[in-house]
């Protein structure tokens, strides 16, 4: 009731006519940790990282903390109109991430016994499947925020095939579409300018569909020659049975002209889990194909998560793997040699060695429906050319990158460096 009253107060302050008569609620999620971050010595690349050693530092971190306002209103005949506006709450990182209204799940829609139809920005059906297996993470350091669905680094989301934004010996971009967003749309990210449909649940089965419009269609200014026509589809089906103890889901994504003109990137994934009572197990497997100028680049990831309940808390652990990208992009813009990362530009540095492993273990205790406190350890083992990290992982390895050519100002580690963290964590929901 207090949240609803607060929501009405916010609605009145916004002076939105008629809003106060709806069921409006302010909600949020604060997830923060304190601990020691360590980056191991990176791959020693002449002219880029040669002579750079390991570093450790203490830090306070915020993991996807957010707040928002949402409302529902009956419009008759069993139909409900609803809206949601949600944004990030950077907490201690205002210098890195701006507070942008509606930067997270934000939409308006209508829901009934036929399903839920809405437009706006939302997690894709592909990403929604993470809920089926994501039970092994304390705080925000786990496979869903680092390895799974993420063949790109946090922040700039560069394409792994074209080293867009990577700290590599040959930085560059493939084309104008990629330059604006890495792979055009990373498989784990939300989709904007999109329309969504979620079916009702029948016998434990639910279907989700999404279409991202070709709002980014571009032509040249002289003659109207088509440069790019990107759009995106995402679809999933999931099932839960035995009171929710067993769950499984599959998804397919199609990203048209996100890596190269006239081609479509695709991805498939399967996730699921089984709660045995004494232990909950989650599994995920996914495969993506990026269509480059000269051929396919294939990426595969898989992972397992565990949760063992102990009283009001649980021991949680996860392990995940990103395999080396396979394929060839020889002839892609700004590159003359290579096979999905392989380069002869720097002796002794093979960028086709770009896989990684991630693991984490910890314990969290739920004091109430709102408050959870935990502790743990998480680490990523990057191959010599890999730059995997966790979403929003501060601080930067070099404190801003000063003095290292090619070092991104984003929170991307140097190639081959292994980030890790011991931490204590607190989550509060409101």
- Residue 21's pLDDT is what? 54
- Identify the residue with better confidence: 6 or 359: 359
SS (H, E, C) the chain: CHHHHHHHHHHHHCCCCCHHHCEEEEEEEEEEEEEEEEECCCCCCCCCCCCCCCEEEEEEEECCCEEEEEEEEEEECCEEEEEEEEEECCCCCCCCCCCCCCCCCEEEEEEECCEEEEEEEECCHHHHHHHHCCCCCCCCCCHHHCCCCCCCCCCCCCCCCCCCCCCCCCCCCCCHHHHCCCCCCCCCCCEEEEEEEECCCECCEEEEEEEECCCCCEECCCCCCEEECCEEEEEEEEEEEHHHCEEEEEEEEEEECCCCCCCEEEEEEEEEEEECCCCEEEEEEEEEEEECCCCEEEEEEEEEEEEEEECCEEEEEEEEEECCCEECCCCCCCCCCCCCCCCCCCCCCCCCCCCEEEEEEEEEEECCCCEEEEEEEEEEEECCCCCCCCCCCCCCCCCCCCCCCCCCCCCCCCCCCCEEEEEEEEEEEC
Contact 420, 379 (CB under 8 A): yes
- Structural contact between residues 430 and 28, judged by C-beta atoms closer than 8 angstroms: yes
221 vs 159, more confident: 221
pLDDT at 247 exceeding the cut of 50: yes
C-alpha 65/C-alpha 67 separation (Å) is 7
pLDDT of residue 428: 96
Residue 245 has pLDDT above 50, yes or no: yes
Q: How far is the C-alpha of 264 from the C-alpha of 421, rounded, in Å? A: 37
Question: Mind listing the pLDDT tens digit for each residue in 375-423?
Answer: 999 999 998 878 888 876 766 777 754 444 444 445 677 888 899 999 9
CA distances from 283 to 308, 335, 361 (A): 15, 37, 16
Report the range of poorest mean pLDDT among 62-76, 211-225, 261-275, 299-313.
211-225
pLDDT at 173 over 70: no
- pTM score, whole prediction: 0.84
Is the predicted pLDDT of residue 293 greater than 90, yes or no? no
pLDDT of residue 47: 65
What are 29's two structure tokens?
């999620």
Check whether 175 has a pLDDT greater than 60.
no
pLDDT digits (tens, 9 = 90+) for 47-93: 666 677 889 999 888 888 999 999 999 999 999 999 999 998 888 76
* Domains of the chain with CATH codes: 2-429 (2.40.160.10)
What is the predicted pLDDT for the residue at 193?
Answer: 87
Contact 3, 430 (CB under 8 A): yes
The pLDDT, as a whole number, for residue 85 is 96
Tell me what pLDDT residue 129 has: 97
């Amino acid at each position: 009731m207090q949240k609803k009253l607060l929501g009405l107060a916010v609605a009145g302050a916004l002076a939105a006519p008629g809003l106060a008569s709806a069921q409006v609620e302010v909600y949020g999620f604060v997830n923060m940790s304190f601990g020691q971050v360590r980056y191991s010595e990176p791959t020693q690349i002449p002219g880029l990282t040669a002579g750079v050693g390991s570093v450790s530092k203490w830090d306070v971190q915020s993991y996807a903390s957010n707040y928002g306002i949402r409302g529902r209103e009956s419009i008759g005949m069993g139909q409900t109109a609803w809206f949601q506006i949600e944004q990030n709450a950077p907490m201690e990182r205002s210098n890195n991430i701006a507070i942008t209204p509606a930067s997270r799940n934000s939409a308006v829609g209508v829901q009934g016994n036929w399903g839920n139809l809405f437009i706006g920005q939302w997690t894709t059906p592909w990403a929604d499947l993470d809920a089926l297996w994501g039970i092994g993470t304390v705080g925000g350091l786990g496979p869903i925020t680092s390895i799974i669905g993420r063949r790109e680094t946090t922040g700039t989301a560069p394409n792994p095939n074209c080293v867009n934004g990577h700290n590599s010996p040959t930085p560059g971009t493939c084309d104008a579409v990629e330059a604006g967003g890495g792979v055009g749309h990373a498989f784990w990210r939300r989709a904007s300018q999109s329309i969504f449909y979620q079916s009702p649940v029948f016998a434990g089965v639910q279907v989700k569909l999404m279409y991202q419009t070709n709002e980014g269609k571009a032509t040249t200014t002289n003659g109207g020659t088509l440069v790019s026509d990107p759009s995106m589809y995402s679809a999933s089906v999931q099932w839960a049975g035995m009171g929710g103890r067993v769950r499984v889901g599959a998804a397919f994504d199609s990203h048209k002209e996100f890596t190269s003109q006239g081609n479509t990137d695709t991805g498939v994934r399967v996730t699921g889990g089984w709660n045995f009572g004494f232990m909950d197990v989650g599994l995920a497997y996914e495969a993506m194909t990026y269509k480059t100028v000269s051929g396919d680049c294939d990426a595969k990831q898989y992972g397992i998560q565990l949760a063992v309940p102990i009283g009001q808390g649980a021991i949680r652990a996860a392990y995940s793997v990103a395999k080396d990208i396979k394929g060839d992009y020889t002839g892609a813009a700004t590159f003359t040699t290579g096979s999905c990362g392989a380069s002869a530009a720097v002796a002794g540095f093979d960028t086709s060695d770009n896989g990684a492993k991630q693991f984490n273990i910890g314990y969290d205790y739920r004091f109430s429906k709102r408050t959870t406190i935990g502790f743990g350890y998480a680490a990523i083992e990057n191959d010599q050319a890999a730059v995997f990290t966790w979403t929003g992982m501060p601080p930067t390895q070099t404190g801003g990158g000063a003095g290292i050519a090619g070092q991104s100002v984003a929170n991307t580690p140097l190639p081959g460096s292994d980030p890790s963290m011991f931490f204590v964590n607190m989550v509060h929901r409101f």
